[in-house]
Amino acid sequence: MTILEKYLKQCLNDFREVTEQKYGTPCDFDAIEASVASLGEQRPLTYEELRVFQSPDQVWFQKHWQLPPEDNVTRALKGQNFDFRNLPNKESDLIGALLGVFQHIELVSIILRFVKPDCYGIVSPPVERILDVRHGGSTVKTYLNYLRDLREVRRYHHFKRTADADMALWVLHERYSSKPEDPIWRAYEADPFMLRLRAKNLMTHFLNGSIPYPELANALSETDRRLAAQIAGIAFEQKVRQQAARDLRESGDDKDLSALIDEFRRVGLIDRGTWEEWHEARRVRNKAIHENLAPTLPKVEALLKVLHVRKY
């Protein structure tokens, strides 16, 4: 088994050691799971079951969170009957109801993680950063996005439970994010599955087809000039060929882009200034696409100007 195949399993194996280093005592999550296991049956949730998190042994909890006052929780729980048995079915409604009681999604995620470790993990900034979790339109939707990513990691890396994937990712951040040359961190950065997952989270909004290529290129022009020029170059060629189909009565598919631009000039459809602008746009496009070279920002902006895209 290569490092790429086992790096997250190694992180999970290191969980106890890393938590001991961080909190002075190892996290005994198995004991908490055993304590709240009965909540997996259909019966009311009470404050008493949550006292396990207030134990002095649970340093990790004491360091980051605290339960709301008992009277507040007891009052909010009155008449509530959380059916944990059928999770993750109808989980959105149950998560929302729990959030109404405990007010913080972190506490909700902790409860769910220990009641149903097969399906849930604890919301934490380290794991959110590792996954580049996409924020939803609400706290519940963001947590659902987080769970979706954890479950994909669980399936791809063959963890028994979603909670195991969550713990492994937490260790990955806590132990290795500050060690860019460590083989474990390099495996994460080279993991094609993780790269796809993170790209989907970061870029779905931009690449779902709702933003036209010229505007997308403009958005990327100060972030990645080469990619901006490549996308703008595709849009430019599409523009020229579509205009050829309309004005020259030919598809232009069998003509070189340079020859097609010259044809526009020959029949008088563009003036000399436009002809020069189009050829310069073609050269910028060719260097970006064929030579994989990043043009200067002014050259990208000149290409965008041909596409009638304003800088801002």
Residue ranges of E strands in 73-216: none
Domain membership of residue 244 (yes or no) is yes
* Shared domain check, 150 and 108: no
% of the chain at pLDDT higher than 70:
95
Last residue of a domain, one of 150, 179, 206: 206
Task: Reply yes or no on whether the pLDDT at 164 is more than 60.
Answer: yes
* Shared domain check, 183 and 225: no
* Shared domain check, 112 and 125: no
Provide the pLDDT for residue 40.
Answer: 65
Least-confidence region, from 40-49, 190-199, 216-225, 294-303: 40-49
* Shared domain check, 276 and 248: yes
- Token digits for 307? 């596409």
Assign 104 a pLDDT band (cuts: 50, 70, 90): very high
Cα separation, 293 vs 296, in Å, equals 10
Least-confidence region, from 90-94, 282-286, 305-309: 305-309
* Shared domain check, 246 and 187: no
Nearest partner of 84 among 114, 121, 124, judged by Cα: 114
Q: Encode pLDDT of 214-272 as tens digits.
A: 998 998 888 899 999 999 999 999 999 988 888 887 665 677 899 899 988 988 999 99
* Shared domain check, 301 and 218: yes
Nearest partner of 84 among 41, 146, 46, 55, judged by Cα: 41
Q: Encode pLDDT of 269-285 as tens digits.
A: 999 999 999 999 999 99
Domain membership of residue 17 (yes or no) is no
Residue 127's domain spans which residues?
121-206
Residue 163 near residue 109, CB atoms below 8 Å: no
Nearest partner of 53 among 63, 62, 45, 44, judged by Cα: 62
* Shared domain check, 112 and 33: yes
Domain membership of residue 3 (yes or no) is no
Give the three-class secondary structure for 192.
Answer: helix
- Token digits for 263? 């044809």
* Shared domain check, 250 and 225: yes
Provide the pLDDT for residue 47.
Answer: 81
- Token digits for 120? 């849930």
Provide the pLDDT for residue 45.
Answer: 79
Domain membership of residue 275 (yes or no) is yes
* Shared domain check, 160 and 95: no
* Shared domain check, 110 and 135: no
Cα separation, 20 vs 27, in Å, equals 7
* Shared domain check, 125 and 111: no
- Token digits for 44? 């009311």
* Shared domain check, 72 and 37: yes
Cα separation, 125 vs 167, in Å, equals 13
Q: Note the maximum CA span of the chain.
A: 85
Quick one: average pLDDT of 198-213? 82
Domain membership of residue 11 (yes or no) is no
Domain membership of residue 15 (yes or no) is no
Cα separation, 234 vs 209, in Å, equals 15
% of the chain at pLDDT higher than 90:
51
Cα separation, 256 vs 237, in Å, equals 10
Q: Encode pLDDT of 131-144 as tens digits.
A: 999 988 899 999 99
Count the domains in the chain: 3
Task: Reply yes or no on whether the pLDDT at 77 is more than 70.
Answer: yes
Last residue of a domain, one of 79, 98, 117: 117
Assign 41 a pLDDT band (cuts: 50, 70, 90): low
Last residue of a domain, one of 117, 136, 156: 117
Domain membership of residue 252 (yes or no) is yes
SS3 of 133-163:
CCCCCCHHHHHHHHHHHHHHHHHHCCCCCHH
Nearest partner of 201 among 139, 147, 127, 149, judged by Cα: 149
Ranked by mean pLDDT, which of 29-33, 49-53, 168-172, 253-257 comes out on top? 168-172
- Token digits for 33? 């799971």
pTM of the model as a whole: 0.81
Domain membership of residue 237 (yes or no) is yes
Provide the pLDDT for residue 210.
Answer: 74
